[in-house]
Amino acid sequence: MSVEMKLAAQKRTDTGKGASRRLRRAKAVPGIVYGAGKEPEMIEVSAFELARLMELEAFYSQIIDLTIGKKKQPTVVKDLQRHPFKDRVLHIDFQRVKAGEKLHVGLPIHFLNEEKCKGVKAGGVVHRDMIEVAIIALPKDLPEYLEVDLADLDVGEAIHLSELNVPEGVELEAFSHGGDEHDHDHPVVSIVMPRIAREEDEDEDEAADAADVPAAADKQDDEEDKGEK
C-alpha cells in the first residue's frame, strides 16, 4: 500500500542565482512544478519539511500531494540538485500526475529472507546488482516497492529482471523498448563466494598441484631405473 505524503509550497516570483541564495538562507528550497499540459510554476518549499519527507524511502517513487496556496495537485519528484559536499538540497523538480497518464519512476527493491538464503548458509554473500528498478505504471497501480525473495538462491545463482514478481498494471522499463528481451534481462541480485574464500581455494589447488610434481618426478625416476636394469 502506498504511503500518503503531503508537502506545502509557495509560489515565487524572484528568479536567478541571487534569489535562490536568499531563499536558501531563509531555510527554503527553490523548485519548479511542470507537466500535465499546464504551465510550469516556480515554487519554494520549507527545507525542514522537505528533509523530513526525504527520510522516507517512498519519497522518491510515490505520489506527493503538493499544495500551492489553496490548490492541491498530485506530483512525483523528477530531479534533485544537491550541494556538492553539504547535506543540503539546492533545487527540486516536481512533475504533475494525471490519472490516465503513465509514470516512469524508480522503485526500491526489498530483499527478503537473506538470513535464510541457501547460498548464504553455504558461505556465500549477497551481491546486490540493483537497489531499485525502473518501472512504468498508471498512478493508481504504482506500488511502493518490489520484493525479491532470496530463500532458495544458491551460490553462483542470480535473480534477473525477468524473474521479478511484478504487480498487475506495472511494466519494467527495461523491456518496454522492444528488441531481444535477453539483452535487457540484467541480474538484480546474486550469491557469490567471498574473495578470501576463493583465494584460499586457489591456494589449496596450487598446493595440490605442487605436491603432485615431486610424485610424478619420483615415478619417472623409478621407471628410468627399471629401464637401466
The helix (H) or strand (E) run that includes residue 79 is strand 71-82
Work out the pLDDT band at 7, boundaries 50, 70, 90: very high
Q: Give yes or no for residue 207 having a pLDDT over 70.
A: no
Mean pLDDT to the nearest integer, 54-67 = 94
User: Ramachandran region of residue 178, left (φ > 0), alpha (ψ -120 to 50) or beta?
Assistant: left
Rounded to two decimals, what is the model's pTM?
0.77
Q: What is the pLDDT of residue 91?
A: 93
Tell me: pLDDT of 226 over 80: no
Cα 193 to Cα 30, 125, 169: the distances in Å are 47, 6, 37
What's the one-letter identity of residue 125?
V
HEC states along 42-77? EEEEEHHHHHHHHCCHHHHCCCEEEEECCEEEEEEE
pLDDT over 50 at 1, yes or no:
no
Closest CA to 139 of 103, 109, 96: 103
Average pLDDT over residues 76-104: 92
**Cell for 56?**
522516507
Main-chain phi, psi angles of 65, to 5 degrees: -80, 105
Taking the C-alpha atoms of residue 24 and residue 20, their distance in angstroms, rounded to an integer, is 6
Question: pLDDT tens digits for 119-154?
Answer: 999 999 999 999 999 999 999 999 999 999 999 999
More confident of the two residues 71 and 224: 71
For residue 83, the model assigns a pLDDT of 86
Taking CB atoms within 8 Å and a gap of at least 24, the contacts of 54-58 are 54/89, 56/3, 56/5, 57/108, 57/145, 58/2, 58/3, 58/5, 58/144, 58/145
Helix (H/G/I), strand (E/B), else coil: 113 = coil
Report which secondary-structure segment, H or E, holds 110.
strand 103-112
Q: Across residues 158-170, what is the average pLDDT?
A: 96
**What pLDDT, on a 0 to 100 scale, did the predictor assign at position 179?**
64
Q: What is the pLDDT of residue 4?
A: 73
